[in-house]
Amino acid sequence: MASLENLAVIVTGGAGGLGKAIATAFLAAGSQVAVCDVSAPRIAEVTTEWEASHSGKFIAATADITDEAASQAFVDSVVAKFGKLDMLINNAGIMDSFDPIGTTDKTVWDRVMNVNVTGLFLMTKAAVNGTMAGAAYTASKHAVLGLTKNTAGFYGDKGIYSIVLLVGAMTNTNIVDAFALSAPNQANMGVSHQLNPGFNPATTGVPLEDVAKYCIFYADRNVAHASNGSTITVNKNWPVA
């Protein structure tokens, strides 16, 4: 495993839930970590927490990744502080309301696609340029796969690798914050559970720390090169294959 000492890593949505777990794992390994999040209170909380143990090794900033200027400014600030950018982890994402296409409100569709696809696009665009300088839910995730394959194909020979972790159900992330904006369709959540039965948080829920370990694993450039363009399933076999 390559050394992670002073690796420069960005984690979007990194001030809570899975993002924080990933960021914490990299900080513990000696990396320089930059997190952005739309929640100012969460940013303030991790700043206080990490200042005591990782002072000078992190950036924590409130940023809206769906805003191109904000995304670019955040990446620029990372490169300015760390002198480089080695790895981007597009963790930020929100849920829809479990409505099927016939009853999905366009505002929900726009919000989910804006964060899960456009935000990923803008951050990846800014990160790729920074690196070159040296320095509705289901549809959105399929779009991510396409963008990943495209990025892997066009930038692999430049040493920029793109990999997707297909993460299963997690019970302690911040993704449910989206429900504050649009209450879930309880009936359709029930249909979803019927179509994908057997979820048990104790046995099929994926621990945040385990997902973070995959991110650490793919920080090894040789490993990332070997898996460039791949989709890696991390779901404890739920739904059952």
Distance CA 123, CA 198 (A): 35
Listing DSSP states for the chain in one string gives ----TT-EEEEETTTSHHHHHHHHHHHHTT-EEEEEES-HHHHHHHHHHHHHHHTTSEEEEE--TTSHHHHHHHHHHHHHHHS---EEE--------S--GGG--HHHHHHHHIIIIIIHHHHHHHHHHHHHT---HHHHHHHHHHHHHHHHHHHGGGT----EEEE---SSSSGGGGGGTS---HHHHHHHHHHS----TTTTPPPHHHHHHHHHHTTSHHHHHHTTT-EEEESTT-S--
To the query of whether residue 137 is one of the catalytic residues in this protein, the response is yes
Task: Check 20, 137, 161, 218 and give the catalytic one.
Answer: 137
Residues 6+ apart with CB under 8 A from 210: 234
Task: Check 141, 149, 213, 236 and give the catalytic one.
Answer: 141
Distance CA 3, CA 122 (A): 29
The residues annotated as belonging to the active site are: 137, 141
